[in-house]
Structure 1
Amino acid sequence: MQPDLELVAVPSQGSFKMWSHGYPYRTVRWHFHPEYEIHLITSTTGKYFVGDYIGSFAPGNLVVVGSNLPHNWVSNVPPGEHVKERCLVLQFDREFIERAVKAFPEFKRVESLLDASRSGVVFSQQTGAAAEPIMREMLATQGLRRIALFIALLDLLVQSPEPTRLASASYCADPACYSGTRINHVLAYIGKNLSQELRETELAELSGQSVSAFSRYFRRHTGVPFVQYVNRLRIDLACQLLMAGELSVTEICYRVGFNNLSNFNRQFLLIKEMPPSRWRAWQQLNASSPAGSGEAEQASAAYG
């Protein structure tokens, strides 16, 4: 079974992506991405798959997955039940580390960890327990503190007892082969043209399928309908632009591919459970609160 491509949207105002998700979730499938991933299970048990490796996981399972290495975690959760948070996930690209090594020679120790992650590596439960508070704080932190926590996490990993490699030495990830599959060709096209008008009929034609067949095929591989998948990516991009603070909500609406403001507001509210203006105000409050400045009070007053 060929893995699906996951489009990782690293924030434009950040060096890496730190997030969490529950179970079931749309990204829980056999997939790959060019970015490195540090994956920590916080709840549930089940089976995980890294390359040609199959193992059992429980809370505290901490794995570093290398670039383009297929992976997936499948939890033992009864059908119909939902877990609010299953894991914490940190994703970053190789160029970020290479730039860091040039600026700070101390980062060179991280290269051996990334080299080992080509096969995927799992750390001890003790290391997983030590990593959780660091990763959890990263979820809500902005600015230099976020970088400090990233360095603390890497320092924890490189100083921990040697992790266990997962995929066999003979296993070789082949992103060129994966990307040639029909669904990954479609997903890559969506990622490159997110700000343009995207029609399901045109994507069906691109994949050589009828619209109905494409609709079923797309949902089977991504877990969500085509329109919902595109809207989520656009809202993720909108959040990056809202955090940057340089564009108005209306400008962002059209920049990310929506053709009218009311639909943008409706989709944003559906996915983020608040309007974009309020989401931006919360982020401003979060960024300014450590200093206790008047700006924090103004941000709070903006939405009552």
Structure 2
Amino acid sequence: MAKASFEALNPYTTHSFLLRQFSEFTAPYHFHPEYELTLIVKGKGNRYVGNHMAAYDDSDLVLLGSNLPHCWKNEPLTAEDDNVSAVVIQFAPDFLGNDFLGKPELSLIAHLLQKSMHGIQFTGKTAGAIHERMLALTLEENSFKRLLGLLDILYALATSKDYTLLDQQGLSSQASGARSERINTVLGYIIDNYKNEILLDEAAALVSMTPNAFCKYYKKTTKKTFIETVTDYRVNYAIQQLIYSDRSISDICFDNGFGDLSHFYKLFKRKMKLSPLKYRKEFRKDL
């Protein structure tokens, strides 16, 4: 069954938080109670946070809230893009005690963590500065200085204005219990299959609903139809290929789950206000 899986992190033994480096992205669409700060040192592909999808590149920096489903997929368009490297910090909501974030001096960080329920991408000078600090943190052997370094990073993020909220609806954080599990299951199914054939009956069966009941439920919960969500994922991925590759429009169409070229043109133009070919030309004029 395609769904957002729960990830149980390794227990913290000698440190109050986890600091790890990765050279490959194999985790499925998943969630965990820990907050997560992920820096992509090198890599290209798609980032999925809640119901938000976007391309990521070198120096991508994102803070994720507790239990917010997510994954990074390395999807290089050229052989040169195949190498990946990331630094990931994960910490529990009470990693410094139940009342620590309630202290007045920590109010800005507490507010930052509240906003992270949507997923936060940091850009500009903030991303550059934090990039260097996180790399330095991987070299720090003193556990006390590591902790101070993390707090310093969180404070810098809390006071930054160089950010964008990703999953602005915050569906995963607003939902609870069975409703949250259903949405995460469906999003996991879409993420795993949007470049192939997606069946409404199959998606409905994953959450034990009839197709009709599922369509009503999905639209009420997400404010979009199931098909609109699938189309958004497919068009967004097509945009990346139009920008970063020289593949033909027809190849992009059929490799992204669209079964008909004219239908692809119609849906793309409705979303982007330009035809795929015009979009590619307009974007590349600015390069």
**Per-residue deviation, 1:133:** 2.0
Per the alignment, in what secondary structure is the counterpart of residue 172 of structure 2?
Answer: coil
Per the alignment, in what secondary structure is the counterpart of residue 145 of structure 2?
Answer: helix
TM-score (norm 1): 0.52
Per the alignment, in what secondary structure is the counterpart of residue 96 of structure 1?
Answer: coil
Matched, 1:90 2:101: no
1:63 is matched with 62
**Per-residue deviation, 1:53:** 0.4
Instruction: Describe the superposition over 1:245-286 as per-residue Cα deviations: whole angstroms up to 9, x where unpaired.
Output: xxxxxxxxxxxxxxxxxxxxxxxxxxxxxxxxxxxxxxxxxx
Q: Give 5+ residue unaligned stretches, structure 2.
A: 186-287
Query: Does the CA contact (< 8 Å) of 2:43 and 2:84 recur in 1?
Result: no
Per the alignment, in what secondary structure is the counterpart of residue 48 of structure 1?
Answer: strand
Matched, 1:169 2:169: yes
Structure 2: distance between partners of 1:31 and 1:41: 18
**Per-residue deviation, 1:177:** 4.0
TM-score (norm 2): 0.55
Query: Does the CA contact (< 8 Å) of 2:19 and 2:88 recur in 1?
Result: yes
Structure 2: distance between partners of 1:155 and 1:10: 25
**Per-residue deviation, 1:9:** 1.8
RMSD after superposition: 2.9
Q: Which amino acid aligns with 2:167?
A: A
1:211 is matched with none
2:101 is matched with 101
Matched, 1:14 2:2: no
**Per-residue deviation, 1:130:** 0.8
Query: Does the CA contact (< 8 Å) of 1:53 and 1:167 recur in 2?
Result: yes
Q: Structure 1 83/100 Cα, relative in aligned 2: closer, same or farther at 3 Å?
A: farther
Query: Does the CA contact (< 8 Å) of 1:42 and 1:85 recur in 2?
Result: yes
Structure 1: distance between partners of 2:19 and 2:155: 17
Q: Structure 1 10/107 Cα, relative in aligned 2: closer, same or farther at 3 Å?
A: farther
Q: Which amino acid aligns with 2:158?
A: V
Structure 2: distance between partners of 1:180 and 1:115: 21
Q: Structure 1 90/10 Cα, relative in aligned 2: closer, same or farther at 3 Å?
A: farther
Structure 2: distance between partners of 1:82 and 1:7: 30
Q: Structure 1 109/46 Cα, relative in aligned 2: closer, same or farther at 3 Å?
A: same
1:126 is matched with 125
Structure 2: distance between partners of 1:172 and 1:39: 19
Instruction: Describe the superposition over 1:206-242 as per-residue Cα deviations: whole angstroms up to 9, x where unpaired.
Output: xxxxxxxxxxxxxxxxxxxxxxxxxxxxxxxxxxxxx
Matched, 1:32 2:31: yes
How many residue pairs are counted as aligned between the two chains? 179
**Per-residue deviation, 1:180:** 7.4
Structure 2: distance between partners of 1:21 and 1:99: 32
Q: Which amino acid aligns with 1:108?
A: S
- Indicate the percent of aligned positions where both proteins have the same amino acid: 26
Instruction: Describe the superposition over 1:21-54 as per-residue Cα deviations: whole angstroms up to 9, x where unpaired.
Output: 012x442x21110100001111111111100001
Per the alignment, in what secondary structure is the counterpart of residue 47 of structure 2?
Answer: strand
**Per-residue deviation, 1:125:** 3.7
Query: Does the CA contact (< 8 Å) of 2:172 and 2:180 recur in 1?
Result: no
Q: Structure 1 105/83 Cα, relative in aligned 2: closer, same or farther at 3 Å?
A: farther
2:5 is matched with 4
Query: Does the CA contact (< 8 Å) of 2:124 and 2:162 recur in 1?
Result: no
Query: Does the CA contact (< 8 Å) of 1:45 and 1:57 recur in 2?
Result: yes
Q: Which amino acid aligns with 1:2?
A: K
2:53 is matched with 54
